Amino acid sequence: MDRRHRILIVDDDAMVRAGLRLMLRSATDIEVVAEATDGDEVVAAVQAHHPDVVLMDLRMSRMDGIAATRAVLALPSPPHVISLTTWDVSEAVLRSIDAGAAGFLLKTGSPEEIMRAVRAVVAGDAVLSPRSTRQVLDQLTTDGGAARAYARDLMSALTERERDVTVGVARGLSNAEVAHQLYVSEATVKSHLASAQAKLDVRNRVGVAVLAERAGLLAD
């Protein structure tokens, strides 16, 4: 059997932690290895338990999830971070994505949605609450002309194929779907995506999508 995905749950509400733990218990490929009750406990928990994914509450009393996300992602070989929120879109969600979170989910999401999200980020995919993806991108692109010009400048450094892959990923396609669309191998897509992320200075597919939208590449 393949190694199970290791999960750290971070939330200051004991009932939320218990609910998430119960949801994930039914998955044979997912294991909750630790919990933390506030953001200032997260780095130590990551170092002690080596999770693959951190489910991160955004609003906590001592250290919020945005600051904790930045601290975790500054570690060597950090885990993926999925932000958890009670709102579809809020300023905290947008800031968590800018901080490097692989995406966000509603705490009211179904067990299947949460388990699918864990598997997706481990596989290198982005995770956004399905009914909020468009709203997130819309809000992230209201930063004005300077942000759009900066995004376009970054995109100009991409090769044509890297740009094609970037647009496909930003539209929510999987690596396999992008490969099929471009008539290349999935390994080729992964290589181009890694190169594009390095040139764009983003951590994950959410960052790619944000810059592509800001640069106007997703306009119909």
In which band, very low, low, confident or very high, does the pLDDT at 143 lie, cut at 50, 70 and 90? low
Fold topology of 141-214: Arc Repressor Mutant, subunit A (1.10.10)
Amino acid at the residue 181: Q
Kindly write down the DSSP assignment for every residue of 75-109, as one continuous string. Answer: SSSPPEEEEEESSSS-HHHHHHHHTT-SEEEETT-
Contact residues for 147 (Cβ-Cβ < 8 A; gap 6+): 141, 214
The pLDDT tens digits for 159-204 are: 999 999 999 888 878 888 899 999 999 899 989 998 999 999 887 7
Taking only the tens place, the pLDDT of each residue in 5-33 is 999 999 999 999 999 999 898 889 999 99
Q: What single letter denotes the amino acid at residue 58?
A: L
Q: pTM higher than 0.85 for the full model?
A: no
Q: Is the pLDDT of residue 141 over 60?
A: no
pLDDT score for 86: 76
Domain residue limits, the chain: 5-132, 141-214
pLDDT at 89: 55
Helix (H, G, I), strand (E, B) or coil at 212: helix
Q: Does domain 5-132 have CATH number 1.10.1040.10?
A: no
Report the candidate in 148, 113, 118 with the shortest Cα–Cα distance to residue 132: 113
Q: Which two tokens stand for residue 136?
A: 């997130």
